[in-house]
Structure 1
Amino acid sequence: MRWVRRWLGLAVSVVSLAAVVYWMLQQPAPELPSSAEGLAWLSLSLVMTLVALALRGWRWHRIMVLAHVPHARSDAMALTAVAYMGNNVLPARGGEILKIGILGARSDARRREILGTVLAERLLDAIVLAGLFVVLSLGLADSPAGRGTAALIGAGLVLGFVALAVYLYLRRTGRFETFAATIRPVARALRLFAHPSGIPVVGLSVAIWVLEGLNLVVIAQSLSLSLSLLDGVLVITLASLAAAIPAAPGFAGTYDWGMILGLKAAGITAGAASGMLILSRFMYFVPPTVVGLIVLISRYGGLSTARRIARRSSASTGLEPA
């Protein structure tokens, strides 16, 4: 299965990248900022990218607090940058494995408990992205996927929360005790989805994705393009949902396909869309990668040390080593 996941992701990226490159070759030359005003907008975009990264680190810290996972807040902030760096350069979301392995070596928590907080992060992002897509597609912005798709996703979210409520009710009656005991070390962090203390974390996640959409608006401004905040959030939501498809490191091809699809729906096409794709790729991916690499080298002993730790932790978490 590991072989299938790795090569399936590579195949998806190759096909997606080929389609994106073919599309770009049919467009005029990309438009990139060259004026002082355009570069100033890009500077603001850089600041917003780093702020979003810091907020994600704080969110992971809060998730671990709710899950009673012992850790240093500075490690939560720093390892979030390391994870983003790893996801951009290593296969199979290797950054998450680095994050679990390094924190496991610096914390008294079991690695499966740390894994649970990472899974909670991923699930939280998926739920927030799906919710934003449904809300925006059903009346606030034009969606290339159509209202039918949004309605299906909305129904899926409702059914998921209904299933969670039924499970919690049955647990209170003493059912599924063996199952609960088996998954408890990993699932402890998922309590934020069923407890009022998790509401601020959900709100923070929504704020992070709105900030990412606003960042896209700023990138558009650097090219003297008009993009509303609602359209910006919808475009980044589509690109991020597409990035969830198994792909090569850096979500190669899938993110680009989603970004082009969203920009087209927002009325940005041709060379302007190519420029937006290139700039968004740079502003969203390069700064976190650089920061994560610096943190990894200066704080955690470099990539070779981190990968050794990650390999040891993979045996206890059941994840594929980076």
Structure 2
Amino acid sequence: MTLLRRWLGPAVSVVALAAVVYWMVHQPAPQLPDSAAGFSWLALSLGLSLGALALRGYRWHRVMVLADVDHKRTDALALTAVAYMGNNVLPARGGEVLKIAILGTRSASRKREILGSVVAERLLDAVVLAGMFIVLSFGLADSPTGPGTAALFGAVILAGFAALFVYLRLRRSGRFERFAATIRPVARGLRLFAHPSGLPLVGLSILIWVVEGLNLIVIVQSIGLSLSVLDGVLIIVLASLAAAIPAAPGFAGTYDWAMILGLKTAGITGGAASGILILSRFMYFVPATVVGLIVLVTRYGGLSAARRRLQGERRLPVHG
């Protein structure tokens, strides 16, 4: 299993990247911005990328407030950037481990409780992305994967909430006490799925992904093409769901394959699709990586301190 976890992501990325590269070399030269107007659209894209990053930091702050995790709002915002930087350059979503390790040295809460807030945020994103994919797939005539995939996502979500409902009813009757005591520090963050106070976080998550979809529309506009709001959001949702597949750092290959599939369904192919893929790679990943690196160096002790924290987390289980 250790070997599988270590090599599955790189293997998936190699296969997906090979397919993407094979496709790109058989396309015309990528279309890129070549005018002042085009670069102005990219400047707007940069603002949207940083805005979405800030919204994600605020969302993690609200998740930790709901989970009673001791923290400062500034750390939530700063460590969100550090985590995205880490996810883009470290294997196995190492950025999430890094932000748990750093906040664990600055918080009175146990690392299991911090881990619970991270798990809750990731599950929140997964549920919102799946829900948006279902709505947009049935709302658009040309869904990239068809209604069957959307129906499968819907069945998984319903099964998940049904299991949660059954578990909560059994807990109220006194069942699973030992199991509940074991996972309680981690599961505290998951209360947002069973409490009305979690609804604003769902709305905030939807807003984040709408901003990301608008960002793609702006990127497309930078090369003189247009994309509808529904298509832009659906493509980003699809690419983000594909990024959940185990892959090398930066979701290499999986994100790119889904982006090309979505653009093709929206009628953008050839050099235009290649150019948009290159630009989206740059605008979605580079700003967060640069900001995260700057924050890590100036606020949290730099790369050497981060490396020591990661080594410590790998030697020991996450604990209080």
With the length of structure 1 as denominator, give the TM-score of the two structures.
0.97
CA contact (8 A) 1:112 1:316 kept: no
Query: 2 CA distance for matches of 1:157 and 1:78?
Result: 31
CA contact (8 A) 1:242 1:254 kept: yes
The alignment partner of 2:247 has SS state of coil
Query: 2 CA distance for matches of 1:13 and 1:309?
Result: 27
Residue type at the aligned position of 2:317? S
Matched with 1:317 is 318
Q: Let me know the Cα RMSD of the aligned residues.
A: 1.0
CA contact (8 A) 1:141 1:234 kept: no
Cα-to-partner distance string for 1:214-246 (whole Å, 9 max, x where unaligned): 100000110111100100011001111111111
CA displacement at 1:188 relative to structure 2: 0.5
Matched with 1:302 is 302
Gaps of 5+ in 2: none
CA displacement at 1:141 relative to structure 2: 5.2
Matched with 1:153 is 153
CA displacement at 1:2 relative to structure 2: 3.2
CA displacement at 1:111 relative to structure 2: 0.6
Query: 1 CA distance for matches of 2:113 and 2:92?
Result: 20
Cα-to-partner distance string for 1:127-167 (whole Å, 9 max, x where unaligned): 11100110001123521211111112112111211111111
Cα-to-partner distance string for 1:193-226 (whole Å, 9 max, x where unaligned): 0000111111100100011001000001101111
Cα-to-partner distance string for 1:29-81 (whole Å, 9 max, x where unaligned): 00000100000000000000000000000000000000000001100000000
The alignment partner of 1:47 has SS state of helix
The alignment partner of 1:46 has SS state of helix
**Is it true that 1:238 corresponds to 2:235 in the alignment?**
no
CA displacement at 1:312 relative to structure 2: 2.2
Query: 1 CA distance for matches of 2:62 and 2:269?
Result: 40
Residue type at the aligned position of 1:62? R
Gaps of 5+ in 1: none
Cα-to-partner distance string for 1:2-49 (whole Å, 9 max, x where unaligned): 332121111111111110000000100000001000000000000000
**Is it true that 1:229 corresponds to 2:229 in the alignment?**
yes
With the length of structure 2 as denominator, give the TM-score of the two structures.
0.98
Query: 2 CA distance for matches of 1:39 and 1:104?
Result: 41
Cα-to-partner distance string for 1:260-297 (whole Å, 9 max, x where unaligned): 01111111111100001000000000000000000000
Matched with 1:70 is 70
The alignment partner of 1:106 has SS state of coil
Matched with 2:114 is 114
The alignment partner of 2:317 has SS state of helix
1:178 to 1:17, Cα distance in 2 relative to 1, 3 A: same
Residue type at the aligned position of 2:170? L
Query: 1 CA distance for matches of 2:113 and 2:248?
Result: 27
The alignment partner of 1:275 has SS state of helix
Query: 2 CA distance for matches of 1:45 and 1:13?
Result: 27
CA displacement at 1:310 relative to structure 2: 2.7
**Is it true that 1:6 corresponds to 2:6 in the alignment?**
yes
Query: 2 CA distance for matches of 1:311 and 1:77?
Result: 24
Query: 2 CA distance for matches of 1:188 and 1:76?
Result: 18
Query: 2 CA distance for matches of 1:194 and 1:122?
Result: 16
1:221 to 1:141, Cα distance in 2 relative to 1, 3 A: farther
